[in-house]
Amino acid sequence: MKKIYPNAAAALEGLLFDGMLIAAGGFGICGIPELLIAAIRDAGTKNLTVASNNAGVDGFGLGQLLETRQVKKMISSYVGENAEFMRQYLSGELELEFNPQGTLAERLRAGGAGIPGFYTATGVGTVIADGKEHHDFNGKTYILETGIVADLAIVKAWKADPSGNLVFRKTARNFNPPAATSGKICVVEVEEIVPLGSLDPDTIHLPGIYVHRIVQGDHEKRIENRTTRKRAAQPVDIDSVARATNSKEA
């Protein structure tokens, strides 16, 4: 079965429907499936529930689907970077289910691993625990959280081979593997599709069994918060250079 598609729209063909649950990889706007998000915007699919750690920024990433009002509900841990999100949420236009970050990651992982629920101490004694089953193990209280199985997972990887084996790069891996496994169908966008056999089987981060469709494209890879340090100025001391040169010669 051929997994490679010519573009993001083609890779999503036949998979989108109104009211669906989409799991999206990425942390902030690092490692987000930017091409697939743009294709979903163009497709106009509505009433989406999106499980994603963040909601992008205004005008980029999932922020684009908020602007077009295609999102009915977000399942996220942090949405602080998005003014349009805040506005829609505070005015009641957008539903929001806050999940602690690790709980969201584990819900996606568990969903993909056939685990319908798990107990965690995260959120005990907070509003997150309201209405959830509590259970004590060895004298400590835990709450029951459920696995997420998404109708579609959209993820971003660095490299794929034609069989769908994936390699991620640095912290752009983040939620992509757990999101990928949670999908009934997973579509991945990559920077490079490499020939079969060119990835070391020992260094594959996510095996192709989880990946159904692949698209290669150019990524903008925007930086959300550019922080740098100054290079220490290196004043050239001519005398010391001369001394060093001289001593070498000597």
Nearer to other proteins, 103 or 216 (CB): 103
Supply the minimum distance, in Å, between the C-beta of residue 229 and other proteins.
5
Nearer to other proteins, 173 or 212 (CB): 173
CA dihedral 231, 169, 191, 4 (to 10 degrees): 180
Supply the minimum distance, in Å, between the C-beta of residue 163 and other proteins.
20
Element (H, E) at 248: helix 238-249
Query: Are the beta carbons of 36 and 8 closer than 8 angstroms?
Result: yes
Check residue 61 and report its DSSP letter. T
Query: Are the beta carbons of 104 and 79 closer than 8 angstroms?
Result: no
Nearer to other proteins, 83 or 242 (CB): 83
- Residue 41: which of 69, 10, 13 has the closest Cα? 69
Q: Where are the alpha helices (DSSP H) in 68-130?
A: 83-90, 101-112
How many C-beta atoms surround the C-beta of residue 41 within 10 A? 15
Nearer to other proteins, 29 or 35 (CB): 29
Supply the minimum distance, in Å, between the C-beta of residue 245 and other proteins.
28
Query: Are the beta carbons of 103 and 123 closer than 8 angstroms?
Result: yes
Query: Are the beta carbons of 51 and 30 closer than 8 angstroms?
Result: no
Nearer to other proteins, 47 or 171 (CB): 171
Nearer to other proteins, 23 or 48 (CB): 23
Longest dimension (CA), the chain: 82
Supply the minimum distance, in Å, between the C-beta of residue 23 and other proteins.
12
Supply the minimum distance, in Å, between the C-beta of residue 1 and other proteins.
26
Supply the minimum distance, in Å, between the C-beta of residue 97 and other proteins.
11
| Residues at the contact surface with other proteins, assessed by CB under 8 A | 27-31, 53, 76-81, 86, 89-90, 96, 98, 100-103, 105-106, 108-109, 120-128, 158, 168-178, 205, 221-231
